[in-house]
Amino acid sequence: MKILVVEDEERVSQFIQKGLREEGHAVDVAFDGEEGGFLAEVNDYDLIILDLMLPKKNGIMVCGEIRERGVATPVLMLTARDSTDDKVRGLDAGADDYLTKPFAFEELLARVRALLRRRSEAKTPTLKIADLELDPMSRRVTRDGNPIRLTTKEYALLEYMMRNTNKVLSRTLIGEHVWDMNFDPESNVIDVYVSHLRNKVDKGFALSLIHTMRGQGYMLSDEAPPA
């Protein structure tokens, strides 16, 4: 999943980023409210972790503004204060959950999982194409009923492709959604991962689902793409 972390305290931000990346998420960071609000609008995130006290624009303002502009991404608000007032204001501005600093990483992770689960339940329960199935809840992937074991990053790539079947996905697009915005689209990392996925998902099956679109990127489809 792709997560935006808006937090001005360097140490807290580093701590959150590191933990989320270890869980296999792609993480973008912003250090003030203006930059955070901008990124939240131009990129498509699965979750936003938003600090309340931020330079330039506070978290409540940022949350209110992105909601007004139609961004429905779940927001987890962070604050050092544990006042009911702030909680209410944050939730009124459109935040989905609240966490008071200091917190243990496990606690943050539990909230993150709950929000992402709610989002994926709202989206689609099981993703299917031909005989390939992916369950975002259990992260279980099967082809023709046989389980496929994927690494965290392979899984993230396949889930992204299964949410965007029959669309040509450029390396830039894949990089932005599955890695993060500092990803170098010139590197061959994506090709390497796609080749791993092919070996696990398509190898030994008559029908290939992962297609290379010459000069354009990749496409997951159960129909042969036009030559």
86 binds Ca ion, rule: CB under 5 A: no
Residue in the block written with tokens 């959604």: 177
168 binds Ca ion, rule: CB under 5 A: no
Give the binding range for Ca ion (CB under 5 A) out of 2-10, 30-38, 160-168, 216-224.
2-10
Give the binding range for Ca ion (CB under 5 A) out of 3-11, 93-101, 121-129, 210-218.
3-11
Give the binding range for Ca ion (CB under 5 A) out of 44-52, 58-66, 99-107, 155-163.
44-52
Answer for which of 28, 32, 51, 86 binds Ca ion (CB under 5 A) is 51
77/22 Cα distance (integer angstroms): 21
35 binds Ca ion, rule: CB under 5 A: no
Which residues, other chains included, contact 9 with Cβ-Cβ below 8 Å and sequence gap of 6+? 51
Residues 87-106 that bind Ca ion (CB under 5 A): none
- E strand or H helix that includes residue 50: strand 47-51
8 binds Ca ion, rule: CB under 5 A: yes
| Nearer residue to Ca ion within complex by CB, 12 or 173 | 12
Q: How far is the CB of 55 from Ca ion (least distance, A)?
A: 8
Q: Which of 39, 11, 20 is nearest to 176 (CA)?
A: 39
Q: Which residues of 40-65 are buried (b: 16+ CB within 10 A; e: fewer)?
A: beebebbbbbbbbbbeebbbbebbbb
29/18 Cα distance (integer angstroms): 11
34/57 Cα distance (integer angstroms): 6
Rg (CA), the chain: 19
| Nearer residue to Ca ion within complex by CB, 89 or 143 | 89
| Nearer residue to Ca ion within complex by CB, 15 or 165 | 15
Answer for which of 21, 24, 53, 87 binds Ca ion (CB under 5 A) is 53
Which residue number is nearest to Ca ion in terms of Cβ?
Answer: 53
Report the chain's terminal Cα–Cα distance, integer Å: 32
Q: How far is the CB of 135 from Ca ion (least distance, A)?
A: 37
| Dihedral sign computed on CA atoms, order 217, 150, 224, 165 | negative
Give the type of residue at 41. E
Give the binding range for Ca ion (CB under 5 A) out of 7-15, 55-63, 88-96, 176-184.
7-15
Interface residues with Ca ion (CB under 5 A) are 8, 51, 53
